[in-house]
Amino acid sequence: MFYDYIVIGLYFILILAIGIIFSRMASKSTSDYFRGGGRMLWWMVGSSAFMAQFSAVTFTGAAGKAFTDGFAIVAVYIGNTFAFFCAWAFFAHRFRQMRVDTPTEAIKRRFGSQNELFFAWALIMFSFLNAGVWLNALGVFTSAVFDADISITIIAIGLTVLFVSVLSGAWGVVASDFVQTLVVAVVSVACAVVALVKVGGPVKMIENFPGGFLIGPNMNYPLILFGTFIFFLPKQIITMMNLHDSFRWLNAKDSFNARKAALLAMILMGVGSIIWFIPPWAAATLYPDAAADYLQLGNKAADAVYLVFARNAMPIGTVGLLMAGLFAATMSSMDSALNKNAGIFVRSIYQPFLAKRNRHKCDDKLLKISRLVSFVTGVGVITAALYFASLKELSLFELMMSVSTMVQVPMMVPLVVGVIVKKTPQWAPWATIVIGFFVSWFVMNVFTADVFASLFGIGLLTDREIIDLNIIMIVGGHVFITSSFFWATSIFYNEAKDKNKLETDRFFEDLESPFSADDQQDGVDSQQRNKLGNMVITMSVGILLMALIPNPLWGRFIFAMCALIIFGIGYLLKRSSKSKTYSR
């Protein structure tokens, strides 16, 4: 563990350094703090969009699901990949073309100021739940690694993430996301290669998986599994391609870079969907009793399977690198949430309602308030994570899916469909959410999976089938009922009473109008490449030093190769920063 502590310590120093280095770029204005002034290159935006959808749940709750159920977990991540494809085809460049600094400013343009205020408070409260799930997942895993109290672990990690987010805003968030993408890639690929070698190749891994690889155990009705995959596609579009999550693309320097960013995120998610889960799939054969080592985690014991694999199969120091990857995943998700909340509060709550007299005069004051809001939001996220840690009866995957399907989907339906359907009354968004919450409650408490099964003459369902069928029914309810309700409100639209009509018309015009960067962009491009190139090269040196850890030759070779690849990326960034012309 001595080397693991060193690796983690050096990683934190690197992330803190990124926050300090990019803090100057975030200190010019609130637009810089919230979205980097809309001047970021596609590879920064794409890696950040990818990391914002990637959290420690992937290495914990989702890995535990892969360990017990096999290939089924990939359905969620294929849904993510498909959503990023839709971003490339339709959403990403249009979101960049909204010409706003925060998601709720886009909501105001589309639905009016009353809906802006409603969604501002609702989305801030929801982020506490979502980021709390991410932080709890990291706390579970970290407490298992270091045999520490989970509450203390959550508080310590949360405060560290809070420091970076408050200090550097969107520039630090996105820059650290890019570096963290490389960390995640290094850990994932290295673990996947070793896992395949130890298990005897992909064919052996599939053949020897207990309970069947494609279907998994405790599944008497494979059609339920197929239904889960089908309904995950629209679910992920709803939860990722909406006006709230448009913040992923507001950072891009122009429309073209937004589309390229979406394409990069799609490729990373598509490849990662398989690579991430090879170690837990292999562990089901290599270490079938892995969960028994962490019974203190209750039903979350299987969520530590990645740790078991790293400790038993990987060279010394990998656990530290794995923990760095987990910190990277959760920090990227949590700091994005904190930065986004600061923008929502300042632009949609404080500025228009609490600072009417000075809202156009004191951007410096608003910048200070933004940092304060980030801090307060971080404390709220830590509190939510501590509450989730007390829910021992739920696995992390079930917890994540419960929050996502029951709360997030109904909230985001009007923010997706509203980009397509133009003529809706001002009450349509919040009325749709009320209907959506009723649908979630009705499926969970009245028309449950057991009731559905008995109605259609389906025999006794396993616990796994009940969970999956609940997901299908809730998502199906929102796709067919909640979405249809919002669409149907068009019947009640009265153009004469629409006070926001002119702004809504301009909003849809902007959606179709390409946005181009100004003539000052080249200097900002150079700074991005140069600063990140330096950080990436520094990280490659740190990983190269891991080759000195007393490991077998193959273990040293893995670290050396990873360092070489990362150094090459850093070198290319540094070299391109010195060029007088920059490719789009």
Span 447-461, pLDDT tens digits? 888 888 888 777 778
Q: Which amino acid is at 532?
A: L
Q: What is the pLDDT of residue 175?
A: 73
**In angstroms, rounded to a whole number, what is the distance separating the alpha carbons of residues 132 and 126?**
10
Q: What is the pLDDT of residue 295?
A: 61
Q: Is the pLDDT of residue 355 over 60?
A: no
Contacts of 503 (CB under 8 A, 6+ apart): 108, 109, 112
Only one residue has tokens 């690929």, namely: 189
Selection from 280, 283, 300 nearest residue 61 by Cα? 300
Q: What is the pLDDT of residue 23?
A: 62
C-alpha angle 1-307-279 in degrees, rounded to nearest 5: 130
**HEC profile of 321-357:** HHHHHHHHHHHHHHHHHHHHHHHHHHHHHHHHHHCCC
Q: What is the pLDDT of residue 244?
A: 86
318-345 and 103-111 helices, crossing angle to 10° = 40
**In angstroms, rounded to a whole number, what is the distance separating the alpha carbons of residues 269 and 81?**
6
CA 329 to chain centre: 8
| Strand partners for 252 | 40
| Strand partners for 40 | 252
pLDDT > 90: percent of the chain: 22
Q: What is the pLDDT of residue 417?
A: 94
* Contact by Cβ (8 Å): 129, 384: yes
Reported as a pLDDT band with limits 50, 70 and 90, residue 27 is: low
What does the block give as tokens for 260? 């390229």
* Contact by Cβ (8 Å): 284, 67: yes
Q: Is the pLDDT of residue 326 over 60?
A: yes
Q: Is the pLDDT of residue 359 over 50?
A: no
Q: What is the pLDDT of residue 379?
A: 79
* Contact by Cβ (8 Å): 278, 191: yes
Residue 65 gets the label, from left (phi > 0), alpha (psi -120 to 50) or beta, of alpha
What does the block give as tokens for 170? 């969107």
* Contact by Cβ (8 Å): 102, 347: yes
Q: In CATH, which superfamily holds the domain spanning 2-393+497-517?
A: Sodium/glucose cotransporter (1.20.1730.10)
Contacts of 59 (CB under 8 A, 6+ apart): 141, 276, 306, 322, 325, 326, 329
Q: Is the pLDDT of residue 44 over 60?
A: yes
**CA-based end-to-end distance of the chain:** 45
Q: What is the pLDDT of residue 388?
A: 66
Q: Which amino acid is at 124?
A: I
Q: Is the pLDDT of residue 488 over 60?
A: yes
At 485, give phi and psi (nearest 5°).
-60, -45
**In angstroms, rounded to a whole number, what is the distance separating the alpha carbons of residues 92 and 263?**
10
What does the block give as tokens for 239? 């939860």
Q: What is the pLDDT of residue 336?
A: 62
Q: What is the pLDDT of residue 56?
A: 63
Q: Higher confidence at residue 211 or residue 144?
A: 211
* Contact by Cβ (8 Å): 249, 95: yes
Only one residue has tokens 């809706």, namely: 424
**In angstroms, rounded to a whole number, what is the distance separating the alpha carbons of residues 215 and 71?**
7
pLDDT > 70: percent of the chain: 80
Q: What is the pLDDT of residue 539?
A: 85
Reported as a pLDDT band with limits 50, 70 and 90, residue 109 is: very high
- Burial (CB count within 10 angstroms: exposed 0-12, middle 13-18, buried 19+), residue 104: buried
Tens digit of each residue's pLDDT (9 = 90 or more) over 497-529: 888 899 999 999 999 999 887 777 777 778 778
Q: E strand or H helix at 237, and its extent?
A: helix 222-240
What does the block give as tokens for 13? 């120093």
| Strand partners for 16 | none
428-445 and 113-146 helices, crossing angle to 10° = 40
Q: Is the pLDDT of residue 331 over 50?
A: yes
**In angstroms, rounded to a whole number, what is the distance separating the alpha carbons of residues 409 and 433?**
9
- Own/partner pairs, 578-581, CB within 8 angstroms, 24+ separation: 578/526, 581/522
Q: Is the pLDDT of residue 90 over 80?
A: yes
CA torsion through residues 59, 258, 413, 336, sign: positive
Selection from 422, 119, 363 nearest residue 245 by Cα? 119
* Contact by Cβ (8 Å): 188, 325: yes
Reported as a pLDDT band with limits 50, 70 and 90, residue 491 is: very high
Reported as a pLDDT band with limits 50, 70 and 90, residue 205 is: very high
Q: What is the pLDDT of residue 81?
A: 93
Q: What is the pLDDT of residue 582?
A: 46
H runs (alpha helix) in 346-448 = 363-389, 396-403, 409-417, 428-445
pLDDT averaged over every residue in the chain: 81
Range of lowest pLDDT (269-278, 347-356, 395-404):
395-404
Q: What is the pLDDT of residue 214?
A: 82
Q: E strand or H helix at 199, and its extent?
A: helix 150-199
Mean pLDDT in residue range 535-563: 89
Q: What is the pLDDT of residue 503?
A: 92
C-alpha angle 525-174-8 in degrees, rounded to nearest 5: 125
CA distances from 10 to 21, 328, 539 (A): 16, 13, 9
- Burial (CB count within 10 angstroms: exposed 0-12, middle 13-18, buried 19+), residue 509: exposed
Reported as a pLDDT band with limits 50, 70 and 90, residue 43 is: confident
Q: What is the pLDDT of residue 264?
A: 94
CA distances from 52 to 179, 241, 502 (A): 13, 13, 34
* Contact by Cβ (8 Å): 24, 239: no
What does the block give as tokens for 414? 């009007």
CA max distance for the chain: 76
